[in-house]
């Protein structure tokens, strides 16, 4: 292939050796020697100049392609400048002296609004590795590791996806196979009648098959789908068709009529050798509040235990298919020769392609992605594999152990998962900020669409949430601030009965419509250095909330609350009363904050609170309404239902109000602690 360079690009003197670092190199990932090749000049030019040269210079043409033409026309007159910066590829967790590493050129723009279009120039693997008749595993070696890959035909793409899954299953640790700290009740969920999956072979709804051995329970692999609904409402499972869909072949006509993305997801999962799939619109009885509530509050289990989640992020709805595996679709890669034996691939980080999709702007998809072990994300005609350990792209060769490329998780929400066990409160605050920027068709789903995240975080905090706020850090959690204009959440859009009696408190972010919610650093800076000490020494309010009997109960009660498991102690909340706290420091601290209440607290009250808490933790398995709350509603006899005040359950009160519960809505009360 012939190529031509402008004078400035020629002065870069690019060569294969500049992009490769041999094994045995003593350079550390952060050393200037490893980051900058010994020859070549820095590149600096305006976007206007680059675009003018693009018709005659191969490198300028690739650089200009990083910004879409419609965006270039808006910004080129503003003297936008571009720099090329050398960076290291690979995974820094591996010993750099024991294997080969590669370099990349990062394209950086001077304008803040163009950060989303920052991209990378990656050395393409030799043309011999483009042979479409070779299986992907045969192409993985030290010669191709972290080099650019030309995207092949659809048939090879399915093989590639299969290999991504195999690399993760065979090589990754408990981050991909574990439960992220969740004390997993999935074994019980499998036994419940409300949870079912689609049997792809028999085309009907079935319970997920499992084997109950003496010491453990194993279940058949299944996949999940995350998508934007669109016109899926025409194909929903309802009380009127559920019995037919339980019969063999009962879903055949429905599957044939599904939106393209869902049909392709089912076909792909079957091609991967997985027989069962969970799709919310088909596996939840949409006009049954009972089915909807029970499934919605177990999202952390459903997505967290699936083998793979298909994320359909192409287009505005599921009507747009998974383009990367559509035989009629082809990807236009920007690849060009810029020196002898040097072909560069323009690679944009997965997040830059994912973040502006309609799918990524929807609130429900936030937890669906974060709760999943592995995601296969289809967007802008390409497919990206992301798991809890790493990320892999179809245009970059990974290594044989599935370590992936360091770029493929840059900016991904999955990165924040590493912080969950270290500092769960920080993880929570970050998730609230990311989640509340997203869009909900029905604003009253604000807690239901976040409930799975609350359950995930509870595994580390070991304390329940009330209306989206962790009770273990309640004083801190109240310090949220809205972004932009805000108004109280008053009326649901939907006429569905499950929304009609919902009430949200004004003291929680879930009670407001806004452009987002932040835990602003200026507001919380005084407590960030040591949250636990701040909660102990600088808070004096004893918070209460009404329980199911209308009686004020303490938000945090050390008599039954457990200790936060965050490994960084400074991020932990109020002290718990674990058995391993031999000096009972947690109870003593609560007594010191409020000595008169501690002395007067009756044994019956403490026992009742603990029982209510334990009942809440087990509620979803019993099949009756319980929520994600500080003081749960208790199970009551039907004859007493009309006399019980509304529970303070954030999921029960926010996702439905049953016949058993009446107004008034929950009341948060504060009283100054005596003796301080």
How does pLDDT run across 102-121, given as a tens digit for each residue?
A: 888 999 998 888 888 889 99
When pLDDT is cut at 50, 70 and 90, the band that residue 94 belongs to is: very low
- If one compares 598 and 99, the residue with the highest pLDDT of the two is 99
Indicate if the pLDDT at residue 541 is higher than 80: yes
* Structure tokens given for 156: 């090879």
Q: Are the beta carbons of 665 and 653 closer than 8 angstroms?
A: yes
Query: 199 forms bridges with which residues in the sheet?
Result: 204, 276
Q: Would you kindly state where each structural domain of the chain is located, as residue ranges?
A: 7-123, 174-333+349-412, 427-672
Give pLDDT, residue 408.
54
Give pLDDT, residue 237.
96
CA distance to 471, 562, 567, 584, 672, per residue, from 581 (Å): 20, 10, 16, 5, 27
Give pLDDT, residue 671.
38
When pLDDT is cut at 50, 70 and 90, the band that residue 222 belongs to is: very high
Segment 507-511 shows an average pLDDT of 96
Segment 264-288 shows an average pLDDT of 96
Indicate if the pLDDT at residue 532 is higher than 90: yes
Considering only 86-95, 357-366, 371-380, 504-513, which range has the smallest mean pLDDT? 86-95
Give the residue from 271, 366, 280 showing the smallest Cα distance to 322: 271
Q: Are the beta carbons of 302 and 27 closer than 8 angstroms?
A: no
Q: Are the beta carbons of 126 and 148 closer than 8 angstroms?
A: no
Backbone angles phi, psi at 187, to 5 degrees: -60, -40
When pLDDT is cut at 50, 70 and 90, the band that residue 199 belongs to is: very high
Quick check: helix, strand or coil at residue 373?
coil
Average pLDDT over all residues of the chain: 78
How does pLDDT run across 627-636, given as a tens digit for each residue?
A: 222 222 222 2
- If one compares 374 and 660, the residue with the highest pLDDT of the two is 374
Q: Are the beta carbons of 365 and 387 closer than 8 angstroms?
A: no
Gyration radius of the chain's alpha carbons? 27
Q: Are the beta carbons of 366 and 355 closer than 8 angstroms?
A: no
Give pLDDT, residue 27.
44
When pLDDT is cut at 50, 70 and 90, the band that residue 255 belongs to is: very high
* pTM more than 0.85: no
Considering only 156-160, 352-356, 513-517, which range has the smallest mean pLDDT? 156-160
Give pLDDT, residue 610.
44
* Structure tokens given for 283: 């596996």
How does pLDDT run across 363-402, given as a tens digit for each residue?
A: 999 999 999 999 999 999 999 999 888 888 888 887 766 6
How does pLDDT run across 165-180, given as a tens digit for each residue?
A: 998 998 887 778 765 4
Give pLDDT, residue 103.
86
Give the separation between CA 619 and CA 298, rounded to whole angstroms: 11
């Amino acid at each position: 292939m012939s190529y031509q360079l402008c004078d400035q690009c020629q002065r870069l003197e690019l060569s294969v050796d500049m992009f490769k670092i041999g094994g045995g190199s003593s350079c550390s990932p952060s050393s200037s020697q490893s980051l900058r090749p010994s020859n070549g000049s820095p590149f600096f030019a305006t976007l206007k100049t680059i675009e003018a040269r693009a018709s005659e210079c191969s490198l300028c043409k690739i650089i200009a392609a990083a910004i879409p033409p419609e965006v270039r026309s808006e910004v080129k007159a503003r003297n936008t400048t571009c720099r090329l910066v050398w960076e290291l590829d690979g995974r820094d967790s591996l010993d750099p002296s024991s294997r080969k590493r590669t370099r990349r050129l990062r394209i950086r723009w001077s304008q803040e609004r163009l950060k989303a279009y920052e991209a990378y120039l990656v050395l393409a693997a030799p043309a011999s590795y483009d042979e479409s008749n070779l299986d992907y595993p045969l192409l993985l070696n030290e010669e191709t590791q972290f080099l650019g890959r030309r995207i092949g035909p659809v048939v090879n793409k399915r093989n590639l996806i299969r290999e991504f899954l195999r690399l993760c299953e065979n090589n990754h640790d408990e981050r991909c196979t574990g439960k992220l700290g969740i004390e997993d009740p999935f074994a019980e969920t499998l036994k419940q009648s409300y949870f079912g999956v689609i049997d792809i072979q028999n085309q009907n709804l079935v319970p997920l098959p499992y084997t109950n051995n003496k010491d453990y329970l194993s279940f058949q692999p299944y996949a999940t789908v995350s998508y934007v609904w669109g016109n899926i409402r025409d194909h929903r499972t309802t009380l009127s068709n559920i019995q037919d869909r339980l019969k063999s072949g009962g879903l055949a006509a429905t599957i044939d009529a599904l939106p393209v993305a869902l049909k392709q997801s089912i076909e792909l999962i079957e091609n991967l050798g997985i027989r069962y799939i969970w799709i919310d619109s088909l596996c939840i009885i949409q006009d049954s509040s009972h089915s909807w509530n029970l499934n919605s509050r177990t999202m952390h289990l459903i997505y967290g235990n699936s083998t793979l989640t298909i994320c359909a992020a192409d287009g505005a709805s599921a009507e747009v298919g998974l383009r990367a595996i559509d035989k009629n679709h082809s990807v236009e890669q920007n690849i060009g020769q810029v020196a002898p034996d040097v072909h560069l691939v323009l690679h944009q980080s997965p997040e830059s392609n994912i973040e502006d999709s309609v799918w990524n702007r929807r609130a429900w998809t936030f937890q669906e992605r974060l709760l999943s072990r592995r995601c296969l994300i289809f967007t802008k005609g390409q497919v990206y594999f992301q798991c809890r350990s790493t990320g892999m792209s179809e245009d970059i060769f990974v290594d044989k152990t599935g370590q992936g490329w360091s770029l493929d998780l840059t900016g991904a929400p999955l990165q924040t998962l590493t912080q969950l066990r270290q500092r769960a409160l920080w993880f929570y605050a970050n998730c609230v900020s990311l989640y509340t920027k997203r869009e909900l068709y029905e604003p009253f789903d604000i807690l239901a669409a976040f409930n799975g995240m609350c359950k995930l975080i509870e595994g580390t905090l070991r304390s329940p949430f009330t209306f989206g706020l962790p009770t273990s850090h309640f004083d801190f959690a109240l310090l949220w601030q809205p972004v932009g204009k805000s108004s109280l959440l008053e009326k649901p859009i939907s006429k569905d009965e499950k929304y009609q009696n919902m009430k949200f408190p004004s003291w929680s972010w879930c009670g407001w419509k806004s452009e987002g919610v932040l835990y602003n650093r200026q507001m919380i800076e005084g407590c960030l250095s040591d949250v636990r000490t701040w909660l102990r020494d600088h808070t004096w309010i004893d918070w209460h909330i009404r329980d199911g009997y209308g009686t004020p109960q303490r938000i945090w009660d050390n008599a039954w609350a457990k200790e936060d498991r965050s490994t960084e102690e400074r991020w932990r909340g109020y002290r718990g009363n674990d058995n391993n706290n031999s000096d009972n420091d947690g109870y003593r601290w609560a007594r010191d904050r409020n000595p008169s209440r501690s002395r007067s607290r009756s044994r019956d009250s403490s026992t009742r609170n603990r029982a209510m808490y334990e009942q809440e933790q087990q509620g979803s398995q019993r099949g009756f309404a319980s929520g994600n709350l500080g003081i749960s509603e208790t199970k009551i006899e039907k004859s007493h239902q009309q006399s019980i005040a509304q529970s303070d359950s954030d999921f029960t009160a926010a996702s439905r109000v049953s016949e058993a519960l009446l107004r008034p809505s929950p009341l948060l009360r504060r009283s100054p602690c005596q003796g301080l």
